[in-house]
């Protein structure tokens, strides 16, 4: 039985558990002397300081340590009777099957934690891999999306286009869609406003499941039965948290000034908007020197967009942006964008190290300045990113959710640092949901405010309208309706067929050229991509000319040289059918449904392909953010791209693993949410190529007969 | 023999796909430069062609498992094909012979030796694969001397840009700590 509703819930037994990731010189989780038992249906609530090992313990209970994530696990860990330490020691390739079946896992954000780009596909994936029938997939996925608090139309959106808070709701929807008997959630409420956080916490608590929840907000989970407080990888008695009282020097002087005279305007945004974040309306804001401007607003209201526009890492294509600040620093919501896998000392010029040490001491991360960010916890990375930006002594510091996922003490330290910076005359623009970040002298901007909400009517620039027109010409709707859209497999097959055909002889290649024209029309009618068409033309034409010339110079006869050129043209005809926008997932669906491609490797490959566009934009965004931090130094984009790609591997592997893509056996073919069909366009393409083949064969036959006679 | 886990499968896919994106850009640059280099095409091969074989040595070097080099180059070639390149599906056949070259070298050393000479050798073997594929297909009619110059350019370029490039990228990734997170 792949689903867990009728089976008994698992219990959890943890004793003397020690985890040392491979490459680390000390254990990051050390629970020697602790014995924790969670009975079936109970809730284990894990709290503690950032870097205390909370996420590690959650990953351990999910069976990810030593199986998927490399390292050594010792001690006792049994979940539902499955010995996870033994599984790790045997080097099991992934979470044991008995555990994977009933598992629902929410990974810590705000780094991407989805496997497939569209929300509906991603939420349905855990059901697909558990063999739920195709008719039920869509309705159950939609139900999960709505009960997590997202609007129904979010199902069709890209997960990457959702706001930080909405992504938290999406992660919960994916974890709960399979009605798991074991729910493990790592900071599931991070980034949500108070109302939505309460609703999501209630949803998690009403599941019929054994739960492990990591949170800094223990009040939301009052009904939890077992509580654990960690510090530096060890269990500690739950202390009354004593907040450090950090006084901001000179703060009183600043506060004494009336708000209007606080300082010069360092940044002004007026009705700025970006087409890259179409769902967000135009934004306006003014920031003064020495002012702390807190941007608050509902989940998904566009706070992060406002900050990126202010920082200039997102370029505004409408409205105005005036900057008088000479040094702007931006701490993005995902600290990984700024830090990559590097340490603070690697990122900063040596001249800024002393100031970095001061800021780090204030944030209690002084000993981490040399540690690669890849080895730090999420909370530590968040503070290190602040160290990097604050150490540069900027005129304007922009920070997106600087206290997200931090414990109370660390959050208080961040508040104190921000107040201190404002007192020194730094202008601060901070987006937050966190009610702990309340400072007496801060000005609060509710976003979106009444003025920003009005839709701004604007005339599209001429160039934009030209592109729009070209796009319509390239994808005529009536022809598309008549023929339908061709199946990716047909196009793949035709490219192979045409290649083999052109190998037979240059005469065939010429025939192929004749077939290529109508094929282009079919490709065009299903909507070709303007950029790929231009790219192909730009690469092909000179390549053919060069190839013929080089052959002639190399001593080939004109016939042979011309033949080589025609052959290249014939190969490229196969690419004509690929000019439609490339949709990796549709190709995967077709391969799995028609060619019986294996589920797990195909999905792995295609989920990786789907991460390429976000990886490219991540590499570009990282470069923009770093260029702010280090003007003049322009890191090589290629190295950034590979760095982003490799760092995405563990989170993508975890996302695929907890969606149980390994589960389907050969006997149980994967069902599909998106049926793949062959239509009229496919038939036409196949007939055209068959015609080309007949034409070539006829030609060869006629030539033989004429020569023979 | 080391086993493959989902982590390695994802790492292989991601490396292959990123290299494929690189290839797609390289196809464009190659096409635009061909008329300029038509007089000395072996020089163009020497300066540029090795980048097309980087996926095999890089995937082999990072994942260190049987089949990684061949599969990495094949995945990269598929991406290059699916993004509509001028070589169309021939990119897949190129990728197969080039990846096979690198894979054979790693296999000869039993998937145990990963020093720089082996990686350079793997890049050169990919270059041999490229010569075996490209010469009969695109340069069937040229003189023996010209063909030899092209083949030599491909092998040297494969060793330096493919093998050497993989070594440089691998070192940058190890330094930035990115490789640590996948336990490689």
B142 Cα to chain A: minimum distance (Å): 4
Q: Is residue A87 pLDDT above 60, yes or no?
A: yes
Q: What is the pLDDT of residue A465?
A: 67
Average per-residue pLDDT for chain A: 79
- pLDDT of amino acid A508: 64
The tally of CA atoms less than 13 A away on the side-chain side of residue A220 is 26
Residues of chain B contacting residue A611, judged by C-beta atoms under 8 Å apart: 14, 17
Q: At what angle do helices A558-576 and A488-504 cross, to 10 degrees?
A: 170
Burial of A237 by CB count in 10 Å (0-12 exposed, 13-18 middle, 19+ buried)?
A: exposed
Q: Is the CB of residue B22 less than 8 Å away from at least one CB of chain A?
A: yes
Q: Choose between A233 and A80: higher pLDDT.
A: A80
Cross-chain residue pair B28–A535, CB shorter than 8 Å? yes
In terms of Cα–Cα distance, which of A382, A349, A339 is closest to A191?
A382
Answer whether A585's CB lies under 8 Å from A610's CB.
yes
* CB-count exposure of residue A479 (10 Å: 0-12, 13-18, 19+): middle
How close A455 gets to chain B, by Cα (Å)? Answer: 37
Q: Do A649 and B181 touch (CB under 8 A)?
A: yes
> For position A520, what pLDDT does the model report?
65
Interchain CB distance below 8 Å, A539 and B140: no
Under 8 Å CB pairs connecting chains A and B tally to: 244
Whole-structure pTM value: 0.78
B110–A contact, CB cutoff 8 A: no
Position A376 confidence tier, pLDDT thresholds 50, 70, 90: confident
A537/A385: higher pLDDT = A385
DSSP state of A158: B
Q: Measure the CA–CA gap between A46 and A261, rounded to whole angstroms.
A: 46
Residue B22 to residue B17: CA distance in whole angstroms: 9
User: Regarding predicted confidence, which is higher, A117 or A301?
Assistant: A117
Q: Report the candidate in A387, A374, A381 with the shortest Cα–Cα distance to residue A342.
A: A374
The per-residue pLDDT for A338 is 82
* ipTM, interface predicted TM-score of the complex: 0.89
For A620-660, the pLDDT digits (tens) are 777 777 777 665 555 566 777 888 888 889 889 999 988 88
CA of B102 vs chain A CAs: smallest distance (Å): 20
CB-based contact A571 B88, cutoff 8 Å:
yes
Shortest Cα–Cα distance, A87 to chain B (Å): 13
On the question of pLDDT at A488 being above 50, the answer is yes
Low-confidence spans in chain B with pLDDT less than 70 = 1-2, 184
Interface check B140 vs A, CB under 8 A:
yes
With bands split at pLDDT 50, 70 and 90, how would you rate the model's confidence at A453? very low
B61 vs A contacts (CB less than 8 Å):
none
Q: What CA dihedral angle connects A266, A271, A276 and A280, to 10 degrees?
A: 110
Per-residue pLDDT for A148 more than 90?
yes
Q: Which residues of B touch A88 (CB under 8 A)?
A: none
Give the pLDDT of residue B51.
92
**Residue B89 touches chain A, beta carbons under 8 Å:** yes
Looking at per-residue confidence, does A707 or A553 come out higher? A553
- What pLDDT was estimated at residue A517? 64
Say whether residue B121 is in contact with chain A using an 8 A CB cutoff.
no
* A652–B138 C-beta distance less than 8 A: no
Q: Are A264 and A288 in contact (CB under 8 A)?
A: yes
Residues contacting A70, CB < 8 A, separation 6+: A21, A22, B7, B182, B183
Query: Element (H or E) spanning A405, and its range?
Result: none
How confident is the model over A274-300, as a mean pLDDT?
77
Residues of chain B contacting A536 with CB distance shorter than 8 Å? 84-86
Q: Do B141 and A561 touch (CB under 8 A)?
A: yes
Higher-confidence residue of A61 and A1: namely A61
Interface-testing mutation among A63, A343, A600, A649, with chain B (most B C-beta atoms within 10 A): A649
B179 close to A (CB below 8 A): yes
Calculate how close chain A gets to B181, using CA atoms only, in Å: 7
% residues pLDDT > 70 (chain A): 79
- Contact at CB, B17 and A341, closer than 8 angstroms: no
Beta carbons of A165 and A299 less than 8 angstroms apart = yes
- Percent of chain A's residues with pLDDT above 90: 13
Give the tens place of pLDDT for each residue, A239-263.
Answer: 444 444 444 333 333 333 444 445 6
Nearest CA in chain A to B142: A556
pLDDT-derived band at A478 (thresholds 50, 70, 90) equals: low
Phi, psi of A675 (to 5 degrees): -60, 140
- Locate the chain B residue with the closest alpha carbon to A497: B89
Q: Which residues of A touch B170 (CB under 8 A)?
A: none
pLDDT at A612: 81
- Decide if A550 and B41 are in contact by the 8 Å CB cutoff: yes
Q: Cβ of A612 and B35 within 8 Å?
A: no
Cβ(B66)–Cβ(B1) under 8 Å?
Answer: yes
Query: For residue A678, is pLDDT > 90?
Result: no
């Amino acid at each position: 039985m792949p689903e867990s509703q009728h089976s008994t819930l698992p219990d959890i037994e943890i004793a003397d558990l020690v985890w040392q990731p491979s490459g680390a010189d000390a254990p990051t989780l050390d629970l020697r002397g602790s014995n924790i038992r969670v009975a079936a249906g109970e809730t284990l609530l894990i709290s503690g300081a950032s870097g205390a090992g909370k996420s590690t313990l959650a990953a351990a209970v999910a069976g990810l340590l030593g199986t998927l994530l490399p390292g050594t696990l010792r001690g006792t860990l049994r979940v539902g009777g499955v010995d996870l330490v033994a599984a790790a020691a045997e080097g099991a390739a992934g979470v044991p099957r008995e555990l994977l079946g009933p598992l629902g896992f929410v990974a810590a954000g705000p780094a991407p934690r989805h496997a497939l780009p569209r929300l509906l596909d991603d939420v349905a994936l855990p059901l697909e891999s558990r063999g739920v029938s195709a008719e039920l997939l869509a309705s159950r996925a939609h139900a999960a999306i709505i009960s997590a608090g997202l609007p129904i139309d979010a199902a069709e959106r890209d997960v990457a286009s959702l706001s930080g808070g909405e992504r938290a709701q999406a992660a919960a929807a994916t974890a709960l869609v399979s009605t798991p008997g074991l729910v493990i959630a790592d900071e599931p409420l991070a980034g949500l406003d108070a109302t939505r956080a309460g609703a999501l916490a209630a949803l998690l608590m009403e599941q019929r499941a054994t739960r492990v929840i990591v949170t800094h907000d223990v009040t939301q989970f009052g009904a939890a039965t077992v509580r654990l407080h960690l510090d530096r990888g060890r269990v500690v008695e739950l202390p009354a948290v004593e907040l450090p009282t950090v006084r901001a020097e000179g703060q009183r002087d600043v506060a004494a000034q009336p708000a209007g005279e606080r300082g010069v305007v360092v940044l002004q945004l007026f009705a700025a908007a970006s087409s890259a974040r179409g769902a967000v309306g135009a934004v306006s804001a003014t920031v003064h020197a020495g002012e702390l401007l807190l941007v608050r607003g509902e989940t998904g209201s566009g706070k992060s967009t406002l900050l990126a526009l202010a920082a200039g890492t997102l370029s505004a294509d409408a409205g105005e942006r005036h900057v008088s600040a000479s040094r702007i620093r931006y701490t993005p919501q995902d600290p990984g964008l700024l830090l990559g896998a590097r340490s603070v000392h690697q990122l900063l010029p040596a001249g800024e190290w002393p100031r970095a040490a001061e800021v780090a001491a204030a944030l209690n991360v002084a000993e981490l300045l040399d540690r690669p960010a890849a080895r730090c916890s999420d909370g530590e990375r968040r503070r290190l990113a602040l160290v990097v930006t604050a150490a540069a002594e900027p005129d304007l510091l922009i920070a997106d959710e600087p206290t997200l996922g931090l414990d109370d003490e660390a959050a208080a330290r961040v508040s104190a640092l921000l107040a201190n910076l404002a007192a020194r005359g730094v202008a601060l623009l901070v987006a937050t949901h966190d009610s702990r970040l309340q400072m007496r002298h801060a000005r609060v901007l509710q976003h979106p405010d009444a003025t920003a909400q009005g839709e701004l009517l604007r005339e599209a620039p001429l160039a934009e309208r030209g592109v729009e027109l070209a796009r319509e010409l390239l994808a005529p709707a009536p022809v598309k309706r008549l023929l339908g859209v061709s199946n990716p497999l047909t196009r793949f097959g035709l490219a192979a067929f045409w290649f083999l055909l052109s190998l037979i002889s240059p005469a065939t290649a010429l025939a192929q050229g004749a077939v290529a024209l109508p094929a282009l029309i079919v490709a065009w009618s299903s909507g070709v991509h303007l950029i790929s068409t231009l790219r192909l033309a730009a690469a092909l034409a000179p390549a053919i000319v060069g190839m013929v010339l080089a052959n002639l110079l190399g001593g080939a006869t004109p016939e042979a040289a011309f033949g080589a050129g025609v052959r290249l043209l014939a190969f490229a005809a196969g690419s004509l059918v690929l000019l439609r926008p490339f949709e990796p997932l549709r190709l995967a669906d077709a391969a799995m449904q028609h060619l019986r491609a294996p589920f797990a490797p195909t999905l792995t490959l295609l989920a990786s392909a789907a991460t390429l566009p976000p990886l490219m934009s991540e590499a570009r965004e990282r470069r923009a953010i770093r260029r702010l931090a280090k003007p003049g130094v322009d890191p090589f984009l290629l190295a950034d791209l590979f760095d982003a790609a490799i760092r995405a591997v563990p989170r993508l592997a975890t996302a695929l693993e907890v969606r149980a893509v390994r589960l389907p056996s050969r006997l149980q073919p994967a069902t599909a949410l998106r049926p793949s069909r062959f239509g009229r366009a496919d038939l036409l393409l196949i007939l055209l190529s068959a015609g080309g083949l007949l034409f070539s064969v006829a030609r060869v036959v006629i030539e033989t007969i004429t020569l023979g006679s | 023999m080391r086993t493959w886990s989902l982590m390695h499968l994802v790492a292989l896919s991601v490396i292959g796909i990123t290299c494929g994106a690189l290839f797609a850009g390289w196809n464009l640059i190659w096409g635009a430069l061909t008329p300029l280099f038509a007089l000395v095409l072996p020089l163009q091969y020497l300066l540029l062609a090795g980048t097309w074989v980087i996926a095999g040595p890089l995937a082999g070097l990072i994942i260190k498992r049987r089949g990684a080099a061949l599969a990495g180059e094949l995945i990269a070639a598929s991406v290059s094909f699916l993004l509509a390149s001028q070589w169309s599906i021939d990119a897949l056949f190129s990728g197969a012979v080039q990846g096979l070259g690198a894979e054979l070298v790693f296999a000869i050393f039993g998937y145990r030796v990963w020093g720089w000479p082996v990686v350079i050798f793997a890049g050169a073997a990919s270059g041999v694969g490229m010569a075996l594929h490209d010469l009969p297909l695109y340069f069937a009619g040229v003189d023996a001397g010209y063909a030899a110059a092209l083949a030599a350019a491909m092998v040297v370029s494969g060793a330096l840009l493919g093998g050497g490039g993989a070594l440089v990228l691998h070192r940058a990734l190890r330094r930035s700590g990115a490789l640590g997170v996948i336990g490689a």
